[in-house]
Structure 1
Amino acid sequence: MYLGLDLGTSGLKAILIDNDQAVVAEATAPLSVSRPQDGWSEQSPADWIAAAEAAIGALPAEGRAAIRGIGLSGQMHGATLLDTADDVLRPCILWNDTRAHAEAAMLDADPRFRAITGNTVFPGFTAPKLLWVKAHESQVFARVAKVLLPKDYLRLWLTGEHVAEMSDAAGTGWLDTGRRLWAEELLATTFLPPEAMPRLVEGSEVSAQVRPEIAARFGFGRNVVVAGGAGDNAAAAIGVGVVSSGQAFVSLGTSGVLFAANDGYRPDPATAVHTFCHALPDRWHQMGVILAATDALNWYARLAGAEVATLTGALGALEPPGKTRFLPYLGGERTPLNDAAIRGAFVGLEHATDREAATRAVLEGVTFAIRDCRDALAATGTRIDRLVAVGGGSRSDYWLSAIATALATPVSVPVAGDFGGAFGAARLAIMAVTGAGAGIATPPATARTFEPQTRLIAAFDDGFARYRAAQSAIAGLT
């Protein structure tokens, strides 16, 4: 048996799979976020441990006794600060915390960061958070002995070892992403010594062994190892088999992600594309990230006073984009704009705009934002031959047909099942224990595929041009 743990923002998921990768059992435990000030987002690491204890404890005892390896996945970028005794110094500053925007801009102005990390320094990254702590909580900063990412604090609890892996480390702002090692000169700019960083491994390697007291508490067998694991999106890519160039997935969750695997390192920070290490050796990946995907649809549903399923279910066959355009920048945008101040809009409203037309406009707006991400990735030389769709938004046939047509790329939907971060983490555990390679991460069976509707490709190209024109006009107002 192999255990995958996925530490999300709103909950922790545990999934148990057998040698054939069939899901044997799963359990979840909720988590809450503290927002003590505007723009702040924090969690207590003690809550992560309690959630892990609850989720693991809910799995069947016979399954736990057969576990050979554990894989870890989780939310990225969080700053978990420890003293010399490994005691937590303050609540973890999470990925969606924006308090360090000034510090991020300062680091991004230093050309070494983009040159070495291959990325724009975003406020959510770990490095600017440490500068914020130094400036505003100097007594805390003076006691920092180790900086861990959220899932790696779970590893410390499981194993007693300070270890990180490449995909998560690439989102800190301190990793030499091409060479896959900590960049000491970047650490120095945030006043941290190299020894403050955890040891690095690949996601499919053994990172450490479970401590005997943890094994005894949960009834594990002897010599259970913990794989390096992966950040949440890289783990999800392992779950859906996106590991080689040309393979990609689109995630239609609260936010939207276009994730493409690469066999080489192709950074282009100016596009606001994330270029990170993948969870497998000598692999990288790129992500275009939009901040509101299903979040935009849920916002519109509240405005319209209707359920999302009612709104999308009323749509028939795919239609050409109408005159009404929607810009989904409800809380700023990341790729390719990197603009926290930009806000969304409906453009081109007219008497003929009814509820169905507005619903289509919202779906098209998010679709065109994803195309913006695709174009940014393409500018770096990354190709996408086929897309796998995951997330709650993938239940809308209309939306997937629009994405396939707008990107001129087939979009497939996996058969029913959980192929997310916890499943990907469990797959990495298999690789770590058995030494098997990327062949373990095969794509799940396809339930259905949405082909581009060739008769509408030109209309969607025109719609995208109108979307970009509206984008430029709105950007000028912020």
Structure 2
Amino acid sequence: MGTYVIGVDNGGTVTKACLYDAEGSLLGTASVKVPTLTPHPLWTERDTEALWQANISAIRQCIAAAGVDPAEVAGLALTGHGNGMYLSRADGSAPWNGIISTDGRAQPYVDAWHARPDFDERARRKTLSSVWAGQPVALLAWMDEHHPEVFDDTAYVFMAKDYVRFRLTGEAAFEETDASFVGVMDITRRVYDRDLLDFFGVGRWIDKLPPQVPSTAIAARLTAEAAALTGLPEGTPVAGGCADIAASALASGVVSPDKLAVVTGTWSINEYVTTEPSPDSAPFLTAVYPVPGTWLVLEASPNGVSNLEWYLRSVLKPLLARFGAEPGDGDVFAACEQMIGEIEPSLDDPFFVPFINGSGVVPDGRAAFVGLLTLHDVRHLVRAVYEGVVLSHLYDIRRLRGYATLADTATFTGGAANSPMWTQMFADAIGSPLQVVDAPEAGTLGVAIMAAVAVGMWPDVVTAVSRMTREPRQVVTPDPERTAFWEQRYERFAAYLETQRG
């Protein structure tokens, strides 16, 4: 058996590959951007061939960065953004672009399903989840109405990571954590459910769902072609992997029930592990977790750090460029932090509604600055974007706290965890100490843990997590006065959302 494992994370905008040893030490990393395509409003797609090439490049680069012999890589595993949809022909080519989880074209179908009186009985009681526009069931319904010819041109329905694993190995499989939250599975029985798909009107697609594979199983092995492209030996084991929401929680050390994990990324993710999912509650999502006998309960929305990325990319940087300045992303981010530090927050400050990717909270929700006055300037706008992301998380966390009594501390990872200012905002708003996860790339570490178990480096997930994760790099304590301030800011934010619901 080799000494190392590779974890690959196919996020909403970037593919990252990282090489780890058996103790979870990060030895080499690489990332490749994959452009997002927006051919129509609310559509978010990507070229699947570009995604495949990004994975090849990232794997080769991370091995080179680590400076290790590829023959010493014992195995690899993949994660990726949840939901969305990647259709594939039998040869791996795509009859349609990959669709990312922030896509909103199928919202009318979701609205109609939620309005049905039998939704809870026929759908929610099996999935233990809501349904939203970026799920495969909604996207398949849209495809059947607008492009029914795609059905005959499709061999498999995949998630992002499962599509890439198919290209690496030639073996089609649907890993069970992803399969559990895309609207096709009775998750307590862990089987595809034809009646469920019939409820959504997409029953004919059931035979195009690949066989399920456990997260820590060896799903298949690298083909000769993929080996030549990646630089890894032919036959290298490829584990089932897991969904990104599970990978981030594992990298945060979350293996026991009722500890809140907060993940800031393209989506705002707020989750905890349970041994008893409840059919009587109504969370956004309940998913199978790689620790046997457990499930992951989430409240989430596509309203995360991508809102700040949009503001930097679409507003600040183009404005600076018109005056001849071409600062890097890091420089603009540092300037934002400086501007926020120059003002004292006030209850009367404007707030930002972080719906740049649409919203499931408000029908046809759009982003907006609310409450601007002449005394406000760009510093207030920047702070409002930071606050908007926090408020979106807080909205979901309050729902989670209605389902379970959560531990007093929470783990924290993702893009915002790299900002001390943002991290303090989160701690103050949530009102709990935040354990900032010591994992530069949580998604790749979490899924590398799956590879380590699959190839026998560690006997089980709990042991692997204990050996491959680290103590928090920092614990951020909330300021009670600031928590009271956030309570009032939140009430204003929530009241605005209520007006938008009509």
- Alignment TM-score, normalising by the size of structure 1: 0.88
Partner of 1:197: 209
Matching residue within 35, 45, 49 for 2:48:
45
Matching residue within 120, 127, 138 for 1:128:
138
CA distance in 2, matches of 1:393, 1:374: 16
Question: Aligned-pair distance for 1:168?
Answer: 1.3
Give the 3 Å change call, closer, same or farther, for CA 400–268 of structure 1 in structure 2: farther
Partner of 1:445: 471
CA distance in 1, matches of 2:208, 2:354: 37
CA distance in 2, matches of 1:217, 1:360: 45
Partner of 1:68: 74
Pairs within 5 Å for 1:328-347? 328-331=353-356, 334=359, 337-347=361-371
Secondary structure class of the residue paired with 2:491? helix
Matching residue within 15, 38, 61 for 1:12:
15
Secondary structure class of the residue paired with 1:139? helix
Partner of 2:337: 312
Counterpart check, 1:167 vs 2:191: no
Give the 3 Å change call, closer, same or farther, for CA 236–134 of structure 1 in structure 2: same
Q: Could you list the per-position Cα deviations for residues 362-382 of structure 1 after superposition, in whole angstroms to 9, with x for gaps in the alignment?
A: 433432322211111112226
Give the 3 Å change call, closer, same or farther, for CA 355–398 of structure 1 in structure 2: same
Secondary structure class of the residue paired with 2:411? strand
Q: Could you list the per-position Cα deviations for residues 330-373 of structure 1 after superposition, in whole angstroms to 9, with x for gaps in the alignment?
A: 336646x25333543322x4565455555544433432322211
Partner of 1:36: 39
Partner of 2:495: 469
Secondary structure class of the residue paired with 1:233? helix
Q: Could you list the per-position Cα deviations for residues 247-299 of structure 1 after superposition, in whole angstroms to 9, with x for gaps in the alignment?
A: 3332333442223233332467755x222222333222123224334344456
Counterpart check, 1:105 vs 2:111: yes
Give the 3 Å change call, closer, same or farther, for CA 313–264 of structure 1 in structure 2: farther
Matching residue within 384, 396, 416 for 1:393:
416
CA distance in 1, matches of 2:301, 2:84: 19
Question: Aligned-pair distance for 1:474?
Answer: 4.0
Question: Aligned-pair distance for 1:206?
Answer: 2.2
Secondary structure class of the residue paired with 2:255? coil
CA distance in 2, matches of 1:357, 1:29: 33
Contact between 2:42 and 2:357, CA under 8 Å: does it hold in 1? Answer: no
Secondary structure class of the residue paired with 1:192? helix
Secondary structure class of the residue paired with 1:77? coil
CA distance in 2, matches of 1:40, 1:406: 32
CA distance in 2, matches of 1:354, 1:11: 32
Partner of 2:305: 294
Question: Aligned-pair distance for 1:12?
Answer: 1.9
Give the 3 Å change call, closer, same or farther, for CA 31–331 of structure 1 in structure 2: closer
Contact between 1:259 and 1:288, CA under 8 Å: does it hold in 2? Answer: yes
Give the 3 Å change call, closer, same or farther, for CA 405–199 of structure 1 in structure 2: same
Counterpart check, 1:459 vs 2:481: no
Question: Aligned-pair distance for 1:129?
Answer: 1.3
CA distance in 1, matches of 2:213, 2:206: 16
Instruction: Give the aligned length.
Output: 472
Question: Aligned-pair distance for 1:87?
Answer: 4.6
Secondary structure class of the residue paired with 2:435? strand
Matching residue within 229, 237, 253 for 2:265:
253
Any unmatched runs of 5+ in structure 2? 321-331
CA distance in 1, matches of 2:500, 2:87: 39
Give the 3 Å change call, closer, same or farther, for CA 397–17 of structure 1 in structure 2: closer
Partner of 1:370: 393
CA distance in 1, matches of 2:335, 2:164: 41
CA RMSD of aligned residues (A): 3.0
CA distance in 2, matches of 1:369, 1:102: 23
More displaced 10-residue stretch of structure 1: 106-115 or 301-310: 301-310
Secondary structure class of the residue paired with 1:394? helix
CA distance in 2, matches of 1:351, 1:63: 61
Question: Aligned-pair distance for 1:170?
Answer: 2.5
- Paired letter, 2:399: A
User: Equivalent pairs: percent with the same residue?
Assistant: 25
Give the 3 Å change call, closer, same or farther, for CA 18–63 of structure 1 in structure 2: farther
Any unmatched runs of 5+ in structure 1? none
- Paired letter, 1:12: T
- Paired letter, 2:239: A
CA distance in 2, matches of 1:456, 1:150: 40
Give the 3 Å change call, closer, same or farther, for CA 318–106 of structure 1 in structure 2: same
Question: Aligned-pair distance for 1:35?
Answer: 2.6
Counterpart check, 1:25 vs 2:47: no
CA distance in 2, matches of 1:163, 1:381: 33
Give the 3 Å change call, closer, same or farther, for CA 209–63 of structure 1 in structure 2: same
Matching residue within 284, 289, 306 for 2:295:
284
- Paired letter, 1:313: Q
Question: Aligned-pair distance for 1:125?
Answer: 0.3
Pairs within 5 Å for 1:253-272? 253-266=265-278, 270=282
Runs of 4+ with >6 A deviation: 317-320
CA distance in 1, matches of 2:289, 2:6: 20
Pairs within 5 Å for 1:148-163? 148-163=158-173
- Paired letter, 1:159: T
Q: Could you list the per-position Cα deviations for residues 310-342 of structure 1 after superposition, in whole angstroms to 9, with x for gaps in the alignment?
A: 23234459977522241423336646x253335
